[in-house]
Amino acid sequence: MKLSAFGQKFSGDSGIVELMDDLSTALRDNPDMIFMGGGNPGRVPGVELAFQRRLETILADAEQRHSLFGIYQAPQGEKGFRSKVANFLNRQFDWGLTAANIAVSNGSQSAFFVLYNMFAGVMPDGGRRSVHLPLAPEYIGYGDIGLSDGFFTATRPSIELLGDQLFKYHVDFSRLPAGEGIGALCVSRPTNPTGNVLTDEELTHLDQIARDRDIPLIVDGAYGLPVPGIVFTAARPHWNPNTILTLSLSKLGLPGVRTGIIVAREDIIRAYTNANTIVSLSCGNLGPALAGPLFDSDEILTMSREQVAPFYRQRAGQTVEWFRQCLGDLPFHIHRPEGAIFLWLWFEGLPITSQELYQRLKQRGVLIVPGHNFFVGIDEDWPHRHECIRVSYAGQADSVRRGVEIIAEEVAHAYRNQQVTL
């Protein structure tokens, strides 16, 4: 098979391909596998019931049913849904949006593919621009999305040790590169994989840098504000005409409907829509059909604040305590859980790489994600990259606890073997 450069790049192995292949293979071949690696959301009964009722209403109405199954929607997304989202955001934050500021995507990943390649890569004058990640580690799914090499650059973070085995990454503004060759800044908030929530001050500073350089600031809010609102610390939602904010229905409990939401200036939305027409033709109908009335009534905000965020906050605190109990006096740190659905563990001086730890855990029936995959855009030989793992706590509590015990056993085994060798 003779593949093009595109074919070779996008059909090859990568961290996100390995992650999704592990999930699908384990579901098929080993249903007893403890899933602590993927981004599947937890099951929140009240949220599931709300979506069940909405789906039953749609299926009981012939016109709504036909609109769901029998009609292509526009590549920008159905106008009624976009208006509901814009009106919701205006009621909450007075952002002055209209339906023209909103686009729908078939999942956030497809939105990132279009948006990032709109602003970075090979430019019309033959030059090259990158998407810069001001705070690595960042989302594994960004890593291979660019159409050209050297697509991402990133800034190594500063590390603040907080006590109680906790730490926090901060944007190291002293290390941020000059603006030449950068087409956009991008952050996820909360950060996937670490659960870090950039402070309002950090985000304001990045916004000013982006505006000074006349490049967009892309804020990936898949876990964040205002919905699904999986944020455990004080933080304000952020948008202005130089910001591209992406939201998602996945972490509300709807990953299967593949619905992302883009909030941006009208010219950016028009450009995105034209590209999305070529890539996707049209947008799926199910996510907007389920969520539209929830945006219209503001129920989606109540659901996020009163059901989704408390569910994950409790799980995060409990899982941190389980790790403290099981890891004992081993040299470990946990990034302070400020949001999202993961814990980020740093095993200082780990005698094996996180990739080897991942393989050992996989053999024992526990799936995690090795940390090196998340340091997109950092090529320097930094041992820290190979000492970290991402762990989801969204699964059934008893499975998560058993997974924590197995992880602790394997980490302890690695450190003991090092001592024996010495």
Residue 63 forms part of a structural domain: no
Residue 422 lies in a domain: no
Q: What is the pTM of this model?
A: 0.93
Same domain, 257 and 369: no
For residue range 136-195, what is the model confidence (pLDDT) as tens digits?
A: 999 999 988 999 888 999 999 999 999 999 999 999 999 998 778 999 999 999 999 999
Other residues' Cβ atoms within 10 Å of the Cβ of residue 241: 15
Q: How many CB atoms lie within 10 A of CB 136?
A: 21
According to the model, what pLDDT value does residue 6 have? Answer: 72
Query: Does residue 51 belong to any structural domain of this protein?
Result: no
d(CA 33, CA 269): 41
User: What's the CATH number where 263 sits?
Assistant: 3.40.640.10
Do 288 and 375 fall into the same domain? no
Domain-located, residue 64:
no
| Residue 2 pLDDT level (bands cut at 50, 70, 90) | confident
Cα–Cα distance measured from residue 185 to residue 119, given in angstroms and rounded to the nearest whole number: 10
Residue 278 lies in a domain: yes
- Position 233 pLDDT exceeds 60: yes
Rounded Cα–Cα distance for residues 403 and 319 (Å): 10
Which domain-ending residue is among 266, 300, 334?
300
Task: Please name the residues in contact with 14: beta carbons below 8 A apart, sequence gap of 6 or more.
Answer: 143, 144
Q: Which of 12-16, 173-177, 216-220, 381-385 reaches the highest mean pLDDT? A: 216-220
Q: Give residue 268's domain range.
A: 69-300
- pLDDT tens per residue, range 182-198: 999 999 999 999 999 99
Q: Do 280 and 308 lie in a common domain?
A: no
End residue of a domain, out of 248, 269, 300: 300
351 and 273 in a common domain = no
Is residue 176 assigned to a domain? yes
Asked, for residue 62, whether it belongs to a domain, the answer is no
Q: How far is the C-alpha of 374 from the C-alpha of 163, rounded, in Å? A: 24
DSSP for 20-78, written as a single string: HHHHHHHHHH-TT-EE-SS-PPP--HHHHHHHHHHHHHHHT-HHHHHHHHS-PPPTT--
Residues 258 and 174 in one domain: yes
Residue 420 has pLDDT above 60, yes or no: no
93 and 233 inside one domain: yes
Do residue 119 and residue 264 come from a single domain?
Answer: yes
Does residue 191 sit in the same domain as residue 274?
A: yes
Q: For all residues of the chain together, what is the average pLDDT? A: 92
Q: How far apart are CA 284 and CA 176, in angstroms?
A: 38
* Residue-level pLDDT at 422: 43
Residue 357 has pLDDT above 70, yes or no: yes
**Domain boundary pick from 253, 276, 300:** 300
Taking 70 as the threshold, does the pLDDT of residue 33 lie above it?
A: yes
In tens, the pLDDT along 325-345 reads 999 999 999 999 999 999 999
Q: What dihedral angle (degrees, nearest 10) is formed by the CA atoms of 355, 361, 365, 367?
A: -50
Instruction: Give tens-digit pLDDT for 87-107.
Output: 999 999 999 999 999 999 999
CATH code of the domain in which 19 resides: 3.90.1150.10
Environment class of 336 (CB within 10 Å of its CB; exposed 0-12, middle 13-18, buried 19+): buried
**Percent helix, strand and coil across the chain, each rounded to 5?**
45, 15, 35
Examine the domain organization and report whether 125 and 22 are in the same domain: no
**pLDDT at position 223 over 90:** yes
Q: Could you report the per-residue pLDDT of 256-287, keeping only the tens digit for each? A: 999 999 999 999 999 999 999 998 888 899 99
Q: What is the pLDDT of residue 23?
A: 62
pLDDT in tens, 107-141: 999 999 999 999 999 999 999 999 999 999 999 99
Mean pLDDT calculated for residue range 291-315: 96
* Nearest-angstrom CA–CA distance, 385 and 372: 5
Q: Are 263 and 247 in contact (CB under 8 A)?
A: yes
The DSSP-derived string for 401-421 is HHHHHHHHHHHHHHHHHHHHH
Count of structural domains within the chain: 2
In a domain, 360, yes or no: yes
What is the pLDDT, as a whole number, of residue 380? Answer: 85
* Same-domain pairing of 117 and 105: yes
Cβ atoms of 391 and 376 closer than 8 Å? no
The predicted pLDDT at position 325 comes to 97
Residues 271 and 292 grouped into a single domain: yes
Q: Clarify whether residues 173 and 312 are in a common domain.
A: no
Percent of the chain with pLDDT over 90: 82
| 245 pLDDT above the threshold of 70 | yes
